[in-house]
Chain A
Amino acid sequence: KAGVTQTPRYLIKTRGQQVTLSCSPISGHRSVSWYQQTPGQGLQFLFEYFSETQRNKGNFPGRFSGRQFSNSRSEMNVSTLELGDSALYLCASSLVGTSGREETQYFGPGTRLLVL
């Protein structure tokens, strides 16, 4: 079974630009979560989508948004990029809410975003 895939793997943007990151979950997984990881703040939860609806949200400004499609693929968008948005963005998928109690999250390799 293919794992969680994220594209692109690396990205360089300049301040003020916007960026869209993509995540394809494991087949059958309907829950997709996004995390931001930086050396200073560590791993922080952005949001979680389940069946095209945002089910949970972290404490990030409105510049960070996401969506999920009917095939469970998810995108996150960051508008008006700031230097502090430079980070590793991780996506994770799970069966949470789908069936049984299989709650394990599986992570993708991440997208490394550098804002100049």
Chain B
Amino acid sequence: AQSVTQLDSHVSVSEGTPVLLRCNYSSSYSPSLFWYVQHPNKGLQLLLKYTSAATLVKGINGFEAEFKKSETSFHLTKPSAHMSDAAEYFCVAFSSGTYKYIFGTGTRLKVLA
């Protein structure tokens, strides 16, 4: 069965330092993968998506993610954290066979001044 694992439930970084949020997926094929961000009491906003085109995907607000099939990973990165990046981030895989979206458990990013 397809699954998504976000390896860290909480990540703290200082403002201006790099961000790394880790996501691993299990699938017998290359799924479509997404990263969403959720600010407190808001809906989920799409950051970026991978759909088997380029393996390095650029998203909004300076975020990017690299699809690595050999490692079954889709980690989210940003060179320099900003206070406004503090939020919860979700890694999601889409199963085209069942039309199901598989969510990771989320990573809460804290940005320290």
Instruction: Show the binding face of A for B, using Cβ within 8 Å.
Output: 4, 31, 33, 42-43, 45, 48, 50, 55-56, 88, 90, 92, 96-97, 101, 103-110, 112
Instruction: Show the binding face of B for A, using Cβ within 8 Å.
Output: 32, 34, 36, 41-46, 49, 51, 90, 92, 94, 96, 98-101, 103, 105-106
Contact call A109/B101, Cβ cutoff below 8 A: no
Contact call A43/B99, Cβ cutoff below 8 A: no
Least CB distance, A98 to chain B, in whole angstroms? 11
Give complex CA distance A97, B34 in Å: 18
Least CB distance, B34 to chain A, in whole angstroms? 7
Contact call A43/B101, Cβ cutoff below 8 A: no
Q: How many A-B residue pairs have CB under 8 A?
A: 51
Give complex CA distance A42, B103 in Å: 10
Known: A42-B106, A43-B103, A56-B100. Is A104-B43 also a contact (CB below 8 A)? no
Give complex CA distance A49, B45 in Å: 21
Known: A43-B90, A56-B99, A96-B99. Is A107-B49 also a contact (CB below 8 A)? no
B34, B43, B96, B99, most chain A CB atoms within 10 A: B43
Listed from nearest, the 7 A-B pairs whose CB atoms lie closest are A107-B43, A107-B44, A109-B43, A103-B94, A103-B32, A110-B43, A108-B43
User: Which residue on B lies nearest to A102, using beta carbons?
Assistant: B51
Contact call A50/B103, Cβ cutoff below 8 A: no
Known pairs A56-B100, A104-B46, A105-B92 / 13 extra A-B pairs, C-beta < 8 Å: A45-B100, A48-B100, A50-B99, A55-B99, A88-B41, A96-B94, A96-B99, A101-B51, A104-B34, A105-B34, A107-B45, A109-B42, A110-B42
